[in-house]
Structure 1
Amino acid sequence: MKAAVFDTYVTKKDNTIMHFDIVVKEGTEFDEVQKYGQAYLALKGQEGQPLTTEECRFCHIEQATQALEVEINTRGYYIVEMEGCH
């Protein structure tokens, strides 16, 4: 499966930055990517923070690993936590 990676930087409620990638099936509409990002932010206690094309930008397409493909097929997306996500 080809996967689209969206590089995402969100300002948290404490004004620090969360950096994470949202990985979805190639061809997923941006409104779906936003929905997945908002669900992730809610899990991290950051619901309501902006998640527009300013914070979340398409980065590249890559071949998904088998484990990543299973996760995307199950949930629709996968989050790669980079910085400030804990």
Structure 2
Amino acid sequence: MNATQIHVFDTYARCANGRIMHFDVVTLQREQPKALEYARQWLRSIGEESAVVNAESCAYCHSEATAPQTMLDDIIAQGYAIYKMEGCPP
């Protein structure tokens, strides 16, 4: 995939047990509502459907000209990629 630009949304989610997860949602669309939807999809996929993430905790951060191929592969497959930072499962 030859993406012209990727957009990064800095995201925090509070899990039911109080743990905070910090991760980036990476997508080809610079649309915050879509990034928030992707964050919630990912949280459901890892069994954290009750985690709280909202517009204030999923904010546009920056754009890049490209991304690593593995990240682009995820974007092709599901519309987004997740870059885990703090408190996320392996």
TM-score (normalised: structure 2):
0.82
Q: Which runs of 5+ in 1 are unaligned?
A: none
Q: Does residue 16 of structure 2 align to residue 10 of structure 1?
A: no
1:54 to 35, 53, 56: 56
Runs of 4+ in structure 1 over 4 Å off = none
Q: What is the percent sequence identity of the aligned residues?
A: 34
For 1:54, what is the secondary structure of its paired residue?
A: helix
In 1, the alpha carbon distance for the partners of 2:68 and 2:20 equals 30
Q: In the alignment, what sits opposite 2:32?
A: 30
Q: Which runs of 5+ in 2 are unaligned?
A: none
Query: 1:66 Cα shift?
Result: 5.3
Q: In the alignment, what sits opposite 1:82?
A: 85
- One-letter code aligned to 2:27: V
Cα RMSD of the aligned pairs, angstroms, is 1.6
- One-letter code aligned to 2:88: C
TM-score (normalised: structure 1):
0.85
Q: How many positions carry a matched residue from both structures?
A: 85
More strand by share: 1
